[in-house]
Amino acid sequence: MPSTQAQRVFGPFSDLLVIDLTHVLNGPFGTTILGDLGARIIKIEPPGHGDDTRSYGPFYKDQSLYFSFVNRGKESIVLDLKSDVDRNLFLNMVAHADVLTENFRPGTMKSFGFSYDELFKINPRLIYASSTGFGQTGPLASYPAYDTIIQAMSGIMSMTGFPEGPPTRVGTSISDLCGGVFMFCGIASALYAREKTGKGAYVDVAMFDATLAFLEHGLMEYVASGKPLDRIGNRHPFMTPFDVFASADKTFVICAGNDHLFAELCKAIGRPELISDHRFLSNQHRTLNNAALKVDLEVTLKKQPSAHWLKVIHEAGVPVAPLLNVAEAAEHPQTKARNMLIESGGVRMPGNPVKISGYEDPPTRVGAPTLNQHGDALRIEFAASALSAAA
């Protein structure tokens, strides 16, 4: 293994070299998945401050967790792509790469002379992936975007929250993350196709498209009725009871997604008469009368603490869960059992959710690089390979 490389785990993508021009969240999240599965990721950062997120909080031991969470295990080199020397080094890196990723506004890479068509001439096996706000086509292609812009325009904010409240941003950067996941999916698919064709491909992913694909219930309602889905709080729009309920001390979640589970729930809490109530005879009836059913259930549920109901309802085979905060979820035994809170560079962060038999899923991983940490070594490595290729 060349000395320039950060120590990586062995994975299904261990033979891949990825040149990563992405910044902030959506692109780096996607390339981190590749890195967690073994790929070598060389992160190219601009002169000065590097990736914007290096200056974003929160900070832990003087390092940005925003940056660290989605750049672990990568190598960092600062390149000025307006400099002839650095441009030539970049092109030599591309010539040896399997994948190039970028999330600049459409047209930016072309303005540098680094469009897919140009880089394809250098490396016809290259998978070139772009993940942007609105994609490379359409009337909004050139619009700048952050996660909240996409949440606002995709419809997801309009259907999030309670009826009496305003449209609400989802409590994480869901559009950025969806874009990153679909970029990873596109890259993996293009790599599979390359095994059969021998040719690279251009992958065009839009955060807007990715978020629309995750709307599911909202689009179902629109297709069925021609109307947008109203904000309905925590309940499911098409299954009832499927909501957050109050007990004597805490709220908790019950998900009874069919008639059988509803009947078992009613028996478990001592309310068997609700099974034959004409308002609740089927899921459709229960959904139409969801408010009345919630009142009836909470009359009983408020008589005992949540711990009692969690035990009783679970033993009846009905899906039920406590309502945990982030700290409680992070420290839950299930999180530990699935290795979903790892240590990377001395920082605790989410682990890799993709578990593949035959490949290690270590609890400790290489941390995010400092700015230009691998710059000198990478310049030597790729300058040497350029001389070798010229010879």
Q: Provide the b/e sequence for 292-313 (b: ≥16 CB within 10 Å).
A: ebbebbeebbeeeebeebbebb
Do 133 and 21 lie in one domain? The reply is yes
Whether 4 is in a domain gets the answer no
Residues 184 and 303 in one domain: no
Q: Structure tokens of 95?
A: 């010539």
Same domain, 111 and 42: yes
Decide if 315 is inside a domain: yes
Alpha carbon distance 31, 253 (integer Å): 34
The answer on 204 and 109 residing in a single domain is yes
Pairing label, strands 40-45, 17-20? parallel
**What are the tokens at 358?**
């035959």
CATH number for position 55: 3.40.50.10540
**What pLDDT is attached to residue 386?**
58
- Kindly state whether residue 169 falls inside one of the protein's structural domains: yes
Tell me the one-letter amino acid at 124: P
**Residues with catalytic roles:** 236
- Residues 149, 76 share a domain: yes
- Paired with 342 in beta bridges are 349
Given a contact cutoff of 8 angstroms between Cβ atoms, the answer to whether 132 and 106 are in contact is: yes
End-of-domain residue from the set 287, 322, 357: 322
144 and 186, same domain (yes or no): yes
Q: What is the mean pLDDT of each run of 10 residues along the chain (391 residues)?
A: 56 97 98 98 97 96 95 98 96 98 96 97 98 98 96 98 97 98 98 98 98 96 95 97 98 98 98 98 98 98 98 98 98 98 96 96 96 98 66 39
**Helix ranges, the chain (H):** 26-36, 65-69, 84-96, 108-112, 116-122, 147-154, 174-197, 207-215, 217-225, 259-268, 283-288, 290-301, 306-315, 326-330, 333-337, 375-390
301 with 342, same domain?
Answer: no
Q: What is the pLDDT of residue 99?
A: 98
Distance of alpha carbon 299 from the chain centroid: 39
Helix, strand and coil in the chain, % to nearest 5: 40, 15, 45
CATH number at residue 305: 3.30.1540.10
Whether residue 171 is found in the same domain as residue 274: no
Q: Which of these three, 293, 322, 351, is where a domain ends?
A: 322
Residue 150 placed within a domain: yes
Buried b (16+ CB within 10 A) or exposed e, 11-31: bebeebbbbbbbbbbbbbbbb
In terms of residue numbers, what domain contains 50? 17-215+337-390
- b/e map of 67-81 (b: 16 or more CB within 10 Å)? bbbbbbbbbbbbbeb
**Cis? peptide before 144, omega within 30° of 0:** no
Q: How many CB atoms lie within 10 A of CB 9?
A: 18
Domain boundary among 322, 345, 363: 322
**Residue found by looking up tokens 């290690």 in the block:** 360
Q: CA geometry: angle at 386 spanning 383 and 390, to 5°?
A: 145
Cα–Cα distance, 55 to 49 (Å, whole number):
8
Q: What local confidence, expressed as pLDDT, does residue 16 receive?
A: 98
In one-letter notation, the amino acid at residue 349 is M
Using alpha carbons, list the distances in angstroms from residue 50 to 28, 67, 285, 327: 13, 11, 57, 31
Q: Are residues 206 and 260 in the same domain?
A: no
0.85 exceeded by the pTM?
Answer: yes
Q: How many domains does the chain have?
A: 2
Instruction: Flag whether 293 is in a domain.
Output: yes
Q: Pairing relation of β-strands 341-344 and 347-350?
A: antiparallel
Q: Is 273 found in the same domain as 201? A: no
Same domain, 172 and 108: yes
User: Does 12 map to a domain?
Assistant: no
50 and 80 in a single domain? The answer is yes
124 assigned to some structural domain:
yes
